[in-house]
Structure 1
Amino acid sequence: MQETAQDRRIRDIVIVGGGTAGWMAAASLRRHFASAPINITLVESSEIGTIGVGEATIPTIRRFYQAMGLSDIDVLRATGGTCKLGIRFNDWLKPGSSFVHPFGLYGQDLNGVAFHHYWMRLRALGEKVPVGDYSLGASLAAAGKFTTPSRDPPSSLSVFDWALHFDASLFAKLMRQVAEQGGVRRIDARITKVNLRGEDGFIESVDLDTGATVTGDLFIDCSGFRGLLIEEALHTGYEDWSHWLLCDRALAVQSEGKGDPPPYTDVTARPAGWQWRIPLQHRYGNGYVYSSRHTTDEEARAVLVGSLDERLLHEPRRITFNPGRRLKAWNKNCIALGLASGFLEPLESTSIALIETGIEKIKLLFPNRDFDPCVVDEFNEMSRLEFERVRDFIILHYKANQRPGTPGGDPTGFWTHCREMSIPDTLQKKIDLWKARGHFVRYRWEMFSQPSWLAIYAGFEMLPESYDPSVDGFDAGQLSGALAEMRRAVAEVVAATPAHGDFIEQYARPRPVAAE
């Protein structure tokens, strides 16, 4: 199409902030608009550090980097990565409990009826086998085994997926390489002023401490919690969810680690929150996410450091945050990504995934310089729904706990409060329908599908009051035998699979230089 004086197409995208969000956006958008006359400039200051805590992902990250021509092995080697089959929850239901939330399916559906109804009937008959025994992903994780999924799985019992644990700073470095090779221009400078247009309040340009000014048509704010553009300049506003998500601080520390890395993220309930442990090739990531209303920073540090019996690589770093989201992810000609758009605690490794989906929405609803309100409104509605659905899934983990109350069992009162608190109506509806009929409610723009909800419901022993009556048509002995055969098939694959550490040693080395 020939350009005219009335041409309203976007010509200049300015990304403010580097780190994981900024460089993922730069690399992905540059590739998407490879043949379009669009310039992409990223402004970041090498003097400003990034949060750099996020080291665990969900399987969508693999599709993200594969779209840029990178293989799983490329990324594992470049980032010191390990494989992640899911998340192991320790002590969340109650002290001594443990279950895995895998990336994969459970059992086999029969006659159009979901597998969990057959599993529920077997429980009613007295065979209380953990649902994870019917999941290849969960069983491999529990055994410390790893292999890549079959490209042509013989049955649903063979279906599982995987993600990565990686060094977030090394992943950002890899994304920067991809972006700059594609033609993204990087400016190393601090922004000293954001200039707004007088007639409509849109962002016109940013002034730099070098004396230069960078103009743009579309600005993407990846400046972290600060929200330099979306909040400080445009005063967008924030929706606070701290009445549902009590944790508002984290202590993060890296350690040497011991033994072979497990193929899962470990999350362990603590007195006022929970602790993560993430295995990399060259170190482990550890952290304690906690509520400042229920413990002090000093007490939290003692819990975290006291749980680690290996050399720490630095003093624990404190991060403060306010769970919630911007009232608008897209305001005027500015779109917020990553921490600038909002923050949900890292319990289910959703931070990087929300960056991915934000980038996909930018591609899907890419504007012209008129910034049609219907396009902006649709983006904001999609973003709101997605944030709220992830929020509800995370709240479920706290609401469903059965950790004993005081005296003694819940010294801070944190877990009792979470169990007794009111929850969003959208989540309550899901729980009610699940308990009444074993039915999964599926909303638009949800990151977690039915198997994930089953994993959490079952792991917390939040089970339906009844199962589908059609499964009563199966003879009890035949049902028991059929499900035993499913477990046997899963167990045979697990037994024949190599250890995760062996997989990493064979394919993911050489060991990278640890990020500073």
Structure 2
Amino acid sequence: MTNNTVTNVVVVGGGTAGWISAAVIKRLLGSQVNVNLVESEDIGTVGVGEATIPPIALLNNMLGLDEKEFLRETNATMKLAIRFENWKTQGDSYYHTFGAPGKSYAFCHFHHYFKRAQQLGLKDSIWEYDLNYLACEAGKFAHIKTPDPVIEMPYAYHFDASLYARFLRKKCEAMGVVRTEGVIERVEQHPENGFIKGVCLKNGQMINGDLFIDCSGFKGLLTQQTLNTGYEDWSHWLPCDRAVAMPSERFEKTVPFTRSIAHSAGWQWRIPLQHRNGNGLVYSSNYYSDDEALGILSANLETKPLADPNFIRFKTGRRRKQWNKNVIAVGLASGFLEPLESTSIHLIQSAIVRLIHLFPHHGVKQKQVDEYNEQSRIEYEQIRDFIILHYHVNERTDSQFWRDVREMDVPDSLTHKIELFRDSGNLFREQNDLFLESSWLQVLMGQGVSPNDYHPLANGISEQKLMDLMKNIKRIKHEPVSKIASHDEFLKQFCAQQ
């Protein structure tokens, strides 16, 4: 334990994790702390985290970023959903949107009314009642400002992660964050308690600190190489352990969603940016060789490659402690969950916001550390379960990979959620779960899990009123789509405005 006031924060590593961490700490704590970020131009970053989820807008707003400037500086596009292709069966697709189908009702979710309407002969899919889905299918986007939650259209972004880090660096340095260029050669610890005292660069410069944010990527320079924190391996549930990424030329039409395309032993991402496409294949080395993975990715690019392939190796899981002594691991240093639901950048964001809530003003106290680690564990496990769901609940019979993940044992927490929904249509959001009931609903139904029953409250209106209700909600959801611009037109007009 330390009892000294924390005034010097050292961020080890740049990239998205490092610069988000530095920006949030300096923005919120201001002159109370000095923030020094150490990075080297000679050390690359993974830099393929290009798709996000809606909380990124809260981060950008908190940092005071202008949306137009952000879109221009990072070549960003808008994101309304993820389209999952070939996940249930080959040729099948569904959307996980940031919206919600239908309309919320007290004590009874919309999908219970929908289930009853289906039994009465309704032929629509549930996505016909989701504005985000309708805008995705039409290739449109707009900022819809309304007090009516029925026609809200929540969104996130696709952006160039390296440009975002550069953009944040500029903002950080304007706030007073000090950037030090150099490669760390040695880490010094306090002999009596093992806390990190400082990092020594190859040029001999010593940078001391009270609190250290480890953003050094998979290697975990401080949290693992120095403190030997340990790692909880989840590869028995999520067997993909490699990725190959390759940018390509911009496609002629910029869709407002991420594409996740399942192959025989993994999945491919397609992320549209203003200046190029982001592409990659996540796969298991037990089923594909690197050459086979590259061949599949290369054969499924929509446009001409712009760079050589970048191979990435990983092990799905988490550090046993995200906060160990006076080191907080953020980003890849803290763990890895494959980017199937675009949670990588969000985990950076939530980690550093959690630190702000529990900031050790007068030194590191174990109660704060324990609370931080418990919240981190729960967050990681909840996201883990949601990602496992996509793999486990599939109907593909064309490859051993899909048969294996369908037959594997999964966490009890996930089994309970699937069985409860299948039995009665009930969905309950765990406390602080990142994913709302509407997210679980869309993936469960998209993967072919249908409830056997609906809530009795859905019987509270007559059959005719129920069908009229469905018709009216569908009309309300469809009306805005014809009035808004295409995604490309929106970007052109909005980004041109000063």
Normalising by the residue count of structure 1, what TM-score does the alignment of the two structures yield?
0.94
Q: Which residue of 2 aligns with 1:497?
A: 484
Q: Which residue of 1 aligns with 2:378?
A: 385
Q: Distance in 1 between matches of 2:350 and 2:189?
A: 28
Residue-by-residue CA offset, 1:111-158 (whole Å, 9 max, x unaligned): 6421110011112223231111111112111211100122x333x320
Deviation readout 1:72-131 (Å, 9 max, x if unpaired): 212111100000001011111111111111111221134642111001111222323111
User: Which residue identity lines up with residue 336 of structure 1 in the other structure?
Assistant: A
**Residues 184-221 of structure 1, C-alpha deviations (whole Å, 9 max, x = no match):** 11100000011111111111111101111111100100
Letter in 2 for 1:153: P
Tell me if structure 2 keeps the 8 A contact 1:105–1:160. no
**CA separation in 1, counterparts of 2:75 and 2:96?**
23
**Residue in 1 that maps onto 2:335:** 342
**1:256-335, aligned counterparts within 5 Å?**
256-335=249-328
Instruction: State how far apart, in whole Å, the 2-side matches of 1:494 and 1:416 are.
Output: 40
- Alpha-carbon distance, 1:495 to partner: 1.7
Deviation at 1:159, TM superposition (A): 2.0
Specify the alignment match of 1:107 in structure 2: 102
Instruction: Return the offset for 1:369.
Output: 5.3
One-letter identity of the residue aligned with 1:181 = A
What is the CA distance between 1:258 and its match in structure 2?
2.0
Q: Which residue of 1 aligns with 2:414?
A: 427
Q: Report the counterpart of residue 44 of structure 2 in structure 1.
A: 49
Are the counterparts in 2 of residues 100 and 142 from structure 1 also a CA contact under 8 Å?
no
Determine helix, strand or coil for the equivalent of 1:446: coil
1:122 aligned partner: 117
Q: How does 1:46-445 map to 2 (within 5 A)?
A: 46-110=41-105, 112-150=107-145, 152-154=146-148, 156-368=149-361, 370-403=363-396, 405=397, 409-410=398-399, 413-445=400-432
Q: Distance in 2 between matches of 1:495 and 1:91?
A: 29
The answer to whether the 8 A contact 2:3-2:364 is kept is no
| Alignment match, 2:10 | 14
- Does the CA contact (< 8 Å) of 2:13 and 2:37 recur in 1? yes
Q: Which moved more, 1:105-114 or 1:203-212?
A: 105-114
C-alpha distance in structure 1 between counterparts of 2:285 and 2:368, whole Å = 39
Distance 1:447 1:110, change over 3 A: closer
CA distance in 2, matches of 1:457, 1:354: 23
Aligned counterparts of 1:125 and 1:297: Cα–Cα separation in 2: 51
Give the secondary structure class of the aligned counterpart of 2:223. Answer: helix
* CA shift digits 1:309-337 (9 cap, x unpaired): 42100121110000000000000000000
Contact preservation (8 Å) 2:214, 2:330: yes
How far apart, in 1, do the equivalents of 2:226 and 2:68 lie? 41
SS of alignment partner, residue 443 of structure 2? helix
Give the fraction of aligned pairs with identical amino acids, expressed as a percent. 46
Contact 1:217–1:369, Cα closer than 8 Å, also in 2? no
For residues 461-485 of structure 1, the C-alpha deviation after alignment (integer angstroms, 9 at most, x for no partner) is: 2121100123224322321221022
Contact 2:117 2:467 in 1 (8 A): yes
Give the drift of 1:444: 2.5
Matched, 1:29 2:25: yes
Q: Distance in 2 between matches of 1:124 and 1:108?
A: 19
CA contact (8 A) 2:234 2:317 kept: yes
Kindly provide the amino acid, as one letter, of the partner of residue 101 in structure 1: H
1:452 aligns with 2:447: no
The Cα of 1:64 is off from its aligned counterpart by 0.3
1:480-506 CA-partner distances (Å, limit 9, x unpaired):
221022112211211222110110111
Once the two structures are superposed, what CA deviation does each residue of 1:27-73 show, in whole Å capped at 9, x if it has no partner?
Answer: 1110111142x111000011111000000000111110111111221
CA contact (8 A) 2:394 2:448 kept: no
- Does the residue aligned with 1:108 lie in a helix, a strand or coil? coil
CA contact (8 A) 1:52 1:168 kept: yes
Deviates more, 1:62-71 or 1:340-349: 62-71
Work out the CA distance in 1 between the residues paired with 2:105 and 2:62: 35
Residue 508 of structure 1 deviates from its aligned partner by 2.2
Q: Following TM superposition, where does structure 1 have runs of at least 4 consecutive aligned residues deviating by more than 4 angstroms?
A: none
Q: Confirm or deny: 8 A CA contact 1:271 1:414 kept in the other structure.
A: yes
Q: Could you tell me which runs of 5 or more consecutive residues in structure 2 were left unpaired when the two chains were aligned.
A: none
Match of 1:485 in 2: 472
Q: For residue 23 of structure 2, what is the amino acid of its counterpart?
A: A
- The CA distance in 1 between the partners of 2:299 and 2:266, in whole Å, is 15
Provide the rounded CA distance (Å) in 2 between the counterparts of 1:199 and 1:97: 60
Counterpart Cα distance in 2 of 1:456 and 1:21: 28
Equivalent AA in structure 1 for residue 257 of structure 2: Y
For structure 1, the 5+ residue unaligned runs are: 1-5, 511-516
Cα pair 1:206 1:214 within 8 Å, conserved: yes
Counterpart residue type for residue 427 of structure 1: L
CA contact (8 A) 1:250 1:290 kept: yes
Q: Helix, strand or coil for the counterpart of 1:229? A: coil
Moved more, 482-491 or 283-292: 482-491
> What TM-score comes out, normalization by structure 2 length?
0.97
Q: How far apart are 1:417 and its partner, in Å?
A: 0.9
* AA partner of residue 464 (structure 2): G
- 1:425-476, CA deviations, whole angstroms, 9 ceiling, x for partnerless residues? 1111111221222222322231111111111112112121100123224322
* CA–CA separation in structure 1 for the residues paired with 2:375 and 2:297: 37
User: For residues 161 and 451 of structure 1, what CA distance do their matches in structure 2 show?
Assistant: 13
Over the residues paired in the alignment, what is the CA RMSD in angstroms? Answer: 1.4
Residue 355 of structure 1 and its aligned partner are, at CA, apart by 0.5
Structure 1 distance, partners of 2:294, 2:363, is 51
Distance 1:51 1:492 in 2: 42
Alignment match, 1:513: none
Paired with 1:444 and 1:111, the residues of 2 have a C-alpha distance of: 19
Q: Kindly tell me the number of residue pairs found equivalent between the two proteins.
A: 496
